[in-house]
Amino acid sequence: MREIFNMINQKPEPMTILISLAAALLLSVILYGAYRLANTKESYQPQFAVTLVTMALISTVLMDLIQSNLALSLGMLGSLSIVRFRTNIKDTRDIGFIFWSMAIGLAAATQSYFIGAAGSLILACVMIGTKKRAAKQAAMLMVIRGSHTDLDKMQELVKEQTESVKIRAKNILAESFEIVYEVQLHEEKGNQIIEEVFSMGGIDSVNLLAQNNG
């Protein structure tokens, strides 16, 4: 029993700790690169990417501490049980990156370098392969106001220039009209569709509005 207790409380060598931290840092490079490539320019968060690397190193340090002291490991479990994270996760895949970061720390601290490297490469392929495409913007509202124009022709024009279109409101008066479309279009086509709608004549204003999805 005493041998088992001494083995549990055996402290890792300083060189072993340094090697585990270096391994965690190298594996974090894969994690950092995968996070950058798996996100679009709009969704990429530099601070979160740095936090992932930091979490991997912190997990390694915590594992080294827990392995060296049984009492400390029990106290650590008790303290972590009261921690609450209230930050909203915008992309559900970010949860995967967080657990990946923790797994790097576990693999590095237990000298399971092959598992850490193989798992990181596979996860990188999965995360990059499920990257969200940036070709389309979120749905926007297009408000067109005018007086005398061919409404059917205008609607056909809007359909041709957008990925999808829905009529949200239509207000037709004797001398004017206002039509609200919900459209989804490529970013570079925003100005083009406005110019083509104005070229029809009889158009007073065209507004593209981002929807507040709160």
Q: Taking a C-beta distance cutoff of 8 angstroms, is the pair 104, 26 a contact?
A: no
Per-residue pLDDT tens for 11-51? 667 888 899 999 999 999 999 999 999 888 777 888 989 99
Per-residue pLDDT tens for 196-214? 888 888 899 998 887 665 4
pLDDT of residue 27: 95
Flag whether pLDDT at 134 surpasses 80: no
Strands (E) in 72-116, as ranges, are none
Q: Taking a C-beta distance cutoff of 8 angstroms, is the pair 206, 198 a contact?
A: yes
Give the HSE-up count for residue 91: Cα atoms under 13 Å, Cβ half-sphere.
Answer: 18
Sign of CA dihedral 39, 44, 45, 51: positive
pLDDT confidence of 188, banded at 50, 70, 90? low
Per-residue pLDDT tens for 66-99? 776 555 554 554 555 445 555 566 677 888 898 9
Pairing mode of beta strands 140-146, 177-184: antiparallel
Of 12-16, 123-127, 152-156, give the lowest mean pLDDT range.
Answer: 12-16
The CA-based dihedral angle spanning residues 38, 43, 45, 46, taken in that order and rounded to the nearest 10 degrees: 60
Average confidence score pLDDT of the chain: 80
Q: Taking a C-beta distance cutoff of 8 angstroms, is the pair 137, 193 a contact?
A: no
C-beta atoms surrounding 49 within 10 Å: 19
Best CA proximity match to 185, nearest among 196, 177, 176, 175:
196
Task: Quickly tell me which residue has 């957008």 as its tokens.
Answer: 162
With a pLDDT cut of 90, the percent of the chain lying above it is 28
- Determine the Cα–Cα distance for residues 71 and 22; give it in Å rounded to an integer: 27
With a pLDDT cut of 70, the percent of the chain lying above it is 76
Determine which helix (DSSP H) or strand (DSSP E) holds 170, and give its type and residue range. Answer: strand 164-172
